[in-house]
Structure 1
Amino acid sequence: MKKVGDVELRLAKGPVPHYKELKELERSIVKVIIEEFGTEELIKRYSNPLWFNSLACLLGFEWNYSGMTTVTLKALKEISIEDNLPIIVLGGKGKDSKITEEVETKDIKDKLKDKIKDVSITSAKVDNYLIQDGYNLYFHFLISDDRGNMTIINQKMSIKEQKVRRFHWININYFDDSQIGFGSNTKTLNLSSKESEELRKNILEIINNERTEKIKEYIIRLKSYQNKNNTILKYISKENNDYIFYQELPYYLKIPDKIYWKALEINRTVENFKDLLFIKGLGPGLLRALAYTAKIIYGSELSWRDPIIYTFAHGTKVGKPYYVKRALMLEEAELLRNAIEEAKVNNNFKLRSLRKLNELIDI
């Protein structure tokens, strides 16, 4: 899988009074896209963070609130079942997020089931363990077709910040540098980026070649530096040849007080970093400690690049990152306009949706 984009949103609570109308409108849009372009194109569109935001705005959501993710996808799941659509829709919030269990209840070929399980677990581990930003995964969703085209949409929450972050995946690689999205940046240890490739190799070197007691010794020593000096970043972080981040580490980037040391007692060689993510008990705290240790031992660089950056759906009038693709905008608008007209919702809701569509086109 390839990371396609990331979005930061505000945490929202409360019911959605127009759920019936938005569901019928989304039903029409989904059916039109499948009929016109097929299931692969539908999956690609849901994997695009800004297209998804535009869809949610058409359905009546504010552009930066968390419900635009959970409610829009909850409706899609219900629609796929009610209309027997040629897509597989799994996951959700809380207990409904266990895709590996839910997929066993579906009539799907074993090979595709195995792929879904693998993609589900790995994408969740990457977003929760390798993107260390103080947010925790609470929503996990998958859309697939019977040919194995699929997208994963994960959402993480920070109770402290009262915000959520949404991560989009599409077919290709587990670790990729083309992460795009939009939102405000936060202090992030990014172990999934291309810059961290050498660091990931060095973490494997430590796991495979060092005795467990020796690894514990390294980590405990680093933790003592952290407690004594309020930070360990001044020993391990450089940017433009100048040491930075002398301030105290955020709580979510510190080496934790409790570490599950048994996760280090591996009786086999870990061949790749993906295998490491499947080790029972190896959580983000221990992984973070191993990253700091790898920096001290091997000198490999740590990436503090937050994957949340601005993204463009159709370019801009000044040509950054490219000029507006007006024909594409009008083509998509026409498709959505037809879908709105076909929707089995009341006229007032249709008119509001069309006005919203016109506003989006004029932006």
Structure 2
Amino acid sequence: MTRRSGSADLPLHGGRVPKWLGERMTRLGAVVTQAIVHHYGRDEFLRRLSNPFWFQSFGSVMGMDWHSSGITTSVIGALKRGLPPLAEELGLHVCGGRGKHSRQTPHELALIGDKVGFDGVLLAQSSRLVAKVDSAAVQDGFDLYLHGFIVADDGKWVVVQQGMNDERRQARRYHWLSEGLKSFVDAPHAAIEGREQGTIINLTDHRAEASRHSQIEMLRTETPERLARDVIRLETGSAPAETAQPMLPHLVMPAHHDVREGDVVVRRLHGALAAAAENGPQDFTALLQVPGVGARTVRALALLAEVMHGAPCRFSDPARFSLAHGGKDRHPFPVPIKVYDQTIQVLKSAVQNAKLGREEELSALKRLDDQSRRLEAHVTGPSFGAFLAEERGRSPSYGGRSVFGWEGEREALQAACSGRRS
């Protein structure tokens, strides 16, 4: 049984994910999935994907633009590339995607079903129904263009799909979870992410049950002429008062590109910074047996540990997780390639050792998250502006890179151009 679990409204962004970032997102997405499944199981990973706040935070910690619609495409794409080599270990499969790839979902489900033993034809029917509900039963002005279907070997699944409203330059993401759904047409959503934008026809609301039955009855008994007269009468007469509709978990991301202090719960950031400092790079490196891990990497790991272990209430500020690995458009700062690669290396080592029964490294990451939450209630730290200024100032030494190029090269080119003008 299935339900929609939540939704998100996101500003549209142009451009593509560069290869150097896409490859890293694939590796990080795969190893984070391994860690979550190892700690909490497949069902919990599906639940997290169905939460719009966690999903946005997951994309932000990967180095995507923290607020944009592109997070949906890039996260689904990273998992679709990264999880197939781990299919036997994790029992998870990603189908569909953007545009023409979404239309391949039924075929992909049938192939995977034949291989692992679930009913791919039945799941393909569920895939079509989910798409129909969000495109026809919920008429909110967003046309679907992306459909991602993540399914486990036991047939449990989550759907993440996204629609676009060109006129408003916004996207809306819809999340579905095959846990607790009793009907595809009666309050099925786990969440819808988006900004309120006027009247929405939502025939999946539980209070619309009488309307759904009435529509079927009218089509069965009324003539087209009678229906047309009724529509004209309703349109020219007074409409009944609208009742406020209870909202599912709903994330609304702002249009501004830069990460601002108001986008981040600063006490949580200070908790992560303090936890990273107290664990200490020397002790942490010795524990993880990964050379070259410094204080900056431990800070990134503290935020990544929260993505793996944090409770749902911890993801109300997805922008905070962009402070781990920056963003491809230099917001909040360029992607620190050296730090990113060390993060992947540490987490990969921890997961590999955990599979061999040596849990020390993964346990250290969980302790890092526990420490962050304990400290945030009473520690202080640099102002948000000072934190960003320091990060941007050190960006060249971290291997800072964006779609505009490497930070050191970019600054040298700007200086050369300025010298020529003078």
Aligning the two structures, in what range does the TM-score lie when normalised by the shorter sequence?
0.5 to 0.7
> Which position in structure 2 is the counterpart of 1:91?
96
Give the Cα–Cα distance (whole angstroms) in 2 for the partners of residues 190 and 209 of structure 1.
24
2:247 and 2:172 map into 1 onto residues whose CA distance is 11
C-alpha distance in 2 between matches for 1:233 and 1:166: 34
Asked whether the equivalents of residues 154 and 167 of structure 1 are also in contact (C-alpha less than 8 Å), the reply is: yes
Is 1:16 matched up with 2:17? yes
Aligned equivalents of 2:80, 2:233: Cα separation in 1 = 49
Choose from 180, 187, 209 the match for 1:176: 187
1:194-217 CA distance string (max 9 Å, x none)? 11011111112122333xxx1x21
Does the 8 Å contact 1:6/1:180 carry over to 2?
yes
Identity of aligned residues (%): 25
Name the structure 2 match of 1:104: 110
In structure 2, the CA distance between the partners of 1:224 and 1:126, relative to structure 1 (3 Å rule), is: same
**Which residue of 226, 237, 245 corresponds with 1:218?**
226
Q: Which structure has the bigger radius of gyration?
A: 2
Aligned to 1:282: none
1:193-212 map, 5 Å? 193-210=205-222
1:162 aligns with 2:169: yes
Give aligned pairs, total.
269
**What residue is the counterpart of 2:350 in the other structure?**
none
Deviations 1:10-42 (A, max 9, x none): 111112232122222112101111222222111
- Contact kept in structure 1, 2:176 and 2:190, CA below 8 Å: no
Deviates more, 1:82-91 or 1:193-202: 82-91
1:157 to 1:92, Cα distance in 2 relative to 1, 3 A: same
Distance 1:179 1:152 in 2: 10
Structure showing the higher helix proportion among its residues: 2
1:41 aligns with 2:44: yes
Structure 2 partner of 1:148: 155
Q: 1:125 aligns with which of 114, 118, 132?
A: 132
**Scaled by the length of structure 1, what TM-score is found?**
0.64
Q: Is the 8 A contact 2:48 2:54 kept in 1?
A: yes
State how far apart, in whole Å, the 1-side matches of 2:108 and 2:190 are.
Answer: 28
Q: Unpaired runs of 5+ in structure 1?
A: 227-231, 241-303, 313-323, 325-329
Q: Secondary structure at the match of 1:23?
A: helix
Q: Is the 8 A contact 1:4 1:180 kept in 2?
A: yes
| Matched position secondary structure for 1:349 | helix
- Cα deviation code 1:35-90 (max 9, x no counterpart): 22222111111111111111111011233211100111111011122333411211
1:247-306 C-alpha deviation (Å, 9 max, x unpaired): xxxxxxxxxxxxxxxxxxxxxxxxxxxxxxxxxxxxxxxxxxxxxxxxxxxxxxxxx848
Aligned-partner Cα distance in 2 for 1:40–1:131: 27
> Quick one: which amino acid aligns to residue 196 of structure 2?
N
Cα 1:309/1:50, change in 2 over 3 Å: closer
Q: Deviations over 1:96-149 (max 9, x none)?
A: 102113323333467521331121011111111111011111101111111111
Cα distance 1:110–1:337, how it changes in 2: closer, same or farther (>3 A)?
A: closer
**CA RMSD across the alignment:** 3.7
**Are positions 1:238 and 2:229 aligned together?**
no
